[in-house]
Chain A
Amino acid sequence: MCTNLFRSIRQPESKMAAFGRFSQVLLRSSLTQTRRQLSAAAGHGEQSGKTWKILTFVVALPGVGVCMLNTFLKEQHHSHEQPEFVPYTHLRIRSKRFPWGDGNKSLFHNPHVNPLPDGYEGHE
C-alpha cells in the first residue's frame, strides 16, 4: 500500500490515478489482499490473532484500568460544592422552551450543578 503512494510522488502520475489504485488495492477482495491490508504489521497467518489477543490483555485493558484508577483518585480530591451562581446573560439561554416538562430544564438537568436562569432551584 505504501509503495503505491511513493510511486505517485516519484513519477508524474495524477493524484486521482494514485487514489484510484489505492482504493483498488483496498477493494480487491481476495483473501491475501484483505489480510495484508487489514492485518497488523507484526505477524502473519496464524500469529496475528495471538498478537492482538496479547495486546488486548497486556496493553489495552490495563490501560483502561489505569485510567479508571486515575479518574477515581482525582474525583476524591474534588470539592463537591455547588459552583457560585452569576446571572450572566450569555449563559442559560431560553429563546425557546424545551419540548419537555416545564420547558425550562435541559435533557440531562442536574439540580445540584445546573442553575436555572434565575439561580439554583430551591434557593429562590
Chain B
Amino acid sequence: MAHQVHAYHMVDPSPWPLTGAVGALLLTSGLAIWMHFHNMTLLTLGLILLLLTMYQWWRDIVREGTFQGHHTPPVQKGLRYGMILFITSEVFFFLGFFWAFYHSSLAPTPELGGCWPPTGITPLDPFEVPLLNTAVLLASGVTVTWAHHSIMEGHRKEAIQSLTLTILLGFYFTFLQAMEYYEAPFTIADGVYGSTFFVATGFHGLHVIIGSTFLAICLLRQVLYHFTSEHHFGFEAAAWYWHFVDVVWLFLYISIYWWGS
C-alpha cells in the first residue's frame, strides 16, 4: 500500500465545490428573479442546493480530520490561515456598510432636513434593548472563553454547559433583535436612515445566526467526543468567528445606535 512521505493533505476529488458554485449562481440569479418577477423557484432551488453542499462538504471535512487523521499540525496551520483570511474578508464587508452609514450621517442632505437622525425619525433608545443586547453578546464572549478553557483542560461536562450557555445567549440576542425590528417606528424604506440601519444590523444579525449555528455544531461534536484537549480547531474557529460577531456589534452599537441617535 502506498504511503505519503509528507504531512500535507491531498484531498480526494469531491463534487461539493461544483454543487456549491451552481447553488450560489442559482441563489443570486434567483434573488434577482424574485425581486423583479415575484417567482421563488430559482431562489428556493439555489438555497436547497447550497444548504446540502454545506452539510456534506463540512461533514466530509470532519471525517477527514477527526476520523481519518489528515489534519496534521501543518494542515491545521493552513486551516488557521484560512479562517483568519475569511474573517478578514468579512471585516471588509462590514467596513463597506459603516462607510455608507458615515457618508450619509456626517453630512445629512437637505432632503433629510439637514440633520441626523433625519426629520421624522425617532431612533431607538440606545440604553434600552440595544444596551441589553450588548451585555448579552459580551457575556457570550465570556462563556465561550470558559468553554475553550474547559475543552483544553479536559472538563467535558463544563465544556458542554458553557457552550450551551453561549448558544442560548446567541439565541436570546436574535430574539431581542427580532422584537426590536418589529417594534421599531421606522422601516427599511424610511430613506437612508432606514437603509443603513437595517442593512448593517440585518447582516450582523445574519452573522449571529451563522455563528450560533457554528457553535451548535461544535456542541454536537463535543458531545460526540470529536474534540481532544490538544486538537479542537473547529471549536477555535467558531470562537474566533463569535468574537468577530461581538466586535462588529460593538461598532454598530457605538456608531449607529449611540452616536447616530
- A: residues with CB less than 8 A from B are 23, 26-31, 34-35, 38-40, 45-46, 48-49, 51-53, 55-56, 59-61, 63-64, 66-68, 70-71, 74-75, 83, 86, 88-94, 96, 99, 106-110, 113-114
Contacts and interface: CB of A to CB of B under 8 A. Distances in A.
A31 B76 CA distance: 13
A60 B142 contact: yes
B187 A114 contact: yes
A99 to B, nearest CB: 6
Given A29-B77, A39-B149, A70 B139 contact: no
Given A29-B77, A56-B165, A59-B142, A23 B84 contact: yes
Contacts of A114: 184-187
Interface string B180-201: 0111111111110010000000
Dominant SS at the B interface? helix
A106 B146 CA distance: 40
5 tightest Cβ-Cβ pairs between the two chains A and B: A60-B139, A49-B149, A52-B146, A106-B187, A60-B142
B142 A55 contact: yes
A89 to B, nearest CB: 8
Contacts of B155: 49
